[in-house]
Amino acid sequence: MIAFENVSVSFDATEALSCVNLQVAEGVLCALVGPSGSGKSTLMKLVNRLVEPSAGRVLVRGADVAGQDPARLRRSIGYVMQSTGLFPHRTVAANIGTVPRLLGWDSSRIATRVADLLELVQLDPDLAQRLPGALSGGQAQRVGLARALAADPDILLMDEPFGAVDPITRRDLRAELRRIHAGTGKTILLVTHDPEEALELASQVVVLRDGAVVADGAPAALVAEDAPEFARTLLGGGQPGLRRLSLLPAEVARDACPAPADAPALPEGATLADALSRMAETGRDVLALGKGSLRLEAVLARGR
């Protein structure tokens, strides 16, 4: 769906990206993470031509973006910014309907789409006629997400979308994004400074440093013992073993042998970190998991 082939970007004498090669498959939520100045936002903005490469090619849906009209390309791709970028003198409904209007949709179709999107991002329909200034930070961010989804793009770019909201709202917005991604299957490129956010949301994590990709893979793989040291340190937050356990379902370590009759039960869908926490709470080293069991040594072995 998105490919970067030997891409470099220079701003005057500064090289922002150096020979980046990267593939993002259709339907993947890919998180770009790394220190400030590592090239995350620059890489993402190449997709909709807000930044042009100094060398190499950027392919979207199999076509080089250099040969595409920038305005048409951007209208086909959803874009969510940290500041939301809502038009302050337009209502919520008008903000959400921005791209459909540019695409020539009639007013009835736009109104239906706005109503559907307010429901999708779980906002009260009564907010449709409010101005952005009357919204909370979390509500404004949801409106920004709804606007990006308005024309039903197959690709969504998100540049630090939750960075300006409080931790509780940020947690709720992450859950909302997971739900929307699971329900729509859109390809999402997410820029974040937050390693925990990258691991929680993404099916593919790309770690950048000084304009180069230093690691690319599934979240659990990048905090494993054999992962590149910089990526493991950045994503592991000093506790890579625990981070890895939080990313793996308990089922991967389940033993077919039944647990003792008095063993505490672990709920369906729990992670290995949940299992370790349950063992610590109960003082037991064996849990019941479905018709089988989960033993402490099996949990610890998966943390490496």
How far, in Å, CA of 24 to CA of 1, rounded?
A: 6
Q: Are residues 263 and 160 in the same domain?
A: no
Q: Are residues 233 and 263 in the same domain?
A: no
Can you spell out the DSSP letters for 84-103?
A: ----TTS-HHHHHTHHHHHT
Name, in order, each residue with C-beta under 8 angstroms of 232's C-beta and a sequence gap of 6 or more. 222, 223, 224, 225, 240
Q: Are residues 69 and 198 in the same domain?
A: yes
- Tally of domains within the chain: 2
Could you tell me the sign of the dihedral formed by the alpha carbons of 246, 249, 251, 253, in that order? negative
Q: Are residues 282 and 163 in the same domain?
A: no
Q: Are residues 82 and 192 in the same domain?
A: yes
From 189, 221, 239, the end of a domain falls on 239
From 184, 211, 239, the end of a domain falls on 239
Q: What's residue 77's pLDDT?
A: 94
Q: What's residue 16's pLDDT?
A: 94
Q: What's residue 112's pLDDT?
A: 93
Q: Where are the alpha helices (DSSP H) in 46-166?
A: 70-75, 92-96, 98-102, 107-120, 137-149
Nearest by Cα to 153 from 113, 124, 191: 113
The structure tokens 């890579």 sit at 240
**Angle formed by the axes of helices 137-149 and 107-120, nearest 10°:** 130
Q: Are residues 234 and 276 in the same domain?
A: no
Structural domain that includes position 41? 2-239
Q: Are residues 224 and 253 in the same domain?
A: no
From 239, 257, 291, the end of a domain falls on 239
Segments of the chain with pLDDT less than 70? 84, 164, 304
7-28 burial code (b ≥16 CB/10 A, e <16) = bbbeeeeebbbbebebebeeeb
Q: Are residues 131 and 206 in the same domain?
A: yes
Q: Are residues 180 and 54 in the same domain?
A: yes
Q: Are residues 26 and 124 in the same domain?
A: yes
Q: What's residue 21's pLDDT?
A: 97
Q: Are residues 294 and 218 in the same domain?
A: no
177-223 residue pLDDT tens: 888 899 889 999 999 988 888 988 999 999 999 999 999 999 988 98
Q: What's residue 164's pLDDT?
A: 67
The CATH number that applies at residue 148 is: 3.40.50.300
Q: Are residues 106 and 151 in the same domain?
A: yes
Q: What's residue 44's pLDDT?
A: 95
